[in-house]
Structure 1
Amino acid sequence: MTWSKLSDDFPDDCDCLSDAAFRLHVEGLCWSNRKLLDCRIPRDHLRRFATHPEALPELVAVGWWTEDGDELAIRHHAGYQRTREQVLAQQAANAANGKKGGRPRKGTGSPRELSEIHPLTRSASESRSERDGTGSGQEALTGPLAEDAHAREDDERAAALRAVRARIAERERQRQATP
């Protein structure tokens, strides 16, 4: 799938156009991108996508489209659109990445590839955490180390829960003491 890009001031630029010309311009950008035409549309394609082909002279008059023999060249907002080569290169990269597959399924027996995290880009929560690292791309703790880490984590959660309950109880006491 391809995309047509419109800047946030696109509607402001189009204030001078009739509704039919505005629609034809957007339809032309979309058609060109869908068919990878690099903003050069064969004239006979116009009847295949245009709701209002009669608005073409208006787009030509304002200079947003030009007529070049059997082709119509879109000028306005053409610079925002990706070229055919860019789209095909991205599609090839996406296909190659898709063939690599997603994350390995658990229990397949194949070792997980670990992504290397640069120490300067590690977040503060990761660097101080004693979690086992699963899901973060880091090697998980196993055995007694994992049990200790989980026990400490459970203790920390229990202490935090006790503190929250104490604050709630204190607020309730204050509320009841206030007439």
Structure 2
Amino acid sequence: MYRLTRQTTHPAVWRVATAIVWVADRKHTLMVARNDATGEIKYFLTNATAEPVARILAVAFRRWTVEHLFRVAKQEVGLMHDEGRDDTGLMRHLTLAVVVLGFVAAHTERLRGKNPDVTMEQVCRALNVRCAILFRRRRGTGAIQHTSDVIQYHQRRNKQATRSHKKRRHKRVT
């Protein structure tokens, strides 16, 4: 039994069974993981047979985190907004987008110390307003207030969703 705690939504307990299988004359480890609370089943096949099961599971369950970061990068920092004609421009654009995403992630972690409910999307919105002020774009207080209201709305909504999710999960477990 393995407890995965570094997940984005909640810690989960997964029961895992492993078996050695041969695929195309190569040794692999097949893992079947079942969530105790929800009954969800996931299958993993790896050729890293020397690695401990706990490490393989930690890597396998990081998939959602990576997908979430790509979604944030596409929506918030313009990862897919390149209209260049050559590979050099594309690589510069992708590099800049990843640097911006790292900057946003660092600020998100810093702000989570003060407010644990802040998300990367909210930090992006706040940084957009801050950049507009720094670069002296003509942006009235109405736009700044609107962005602040949107961030506060999302924080309230996320808190309510978390409470609701915990209630529903508690009912399933008991």
Same fold (TM over 0.5): no
- Which is richer in strand? 2
TM-score (norm 1): 0.27
Which structure's CA Rg is the greater one? Answer: 1
* Bigger RCO of structures 1 and 2 (CA < 8 A, at least 6 apart): 1
TM-score (norm 2): 0.27
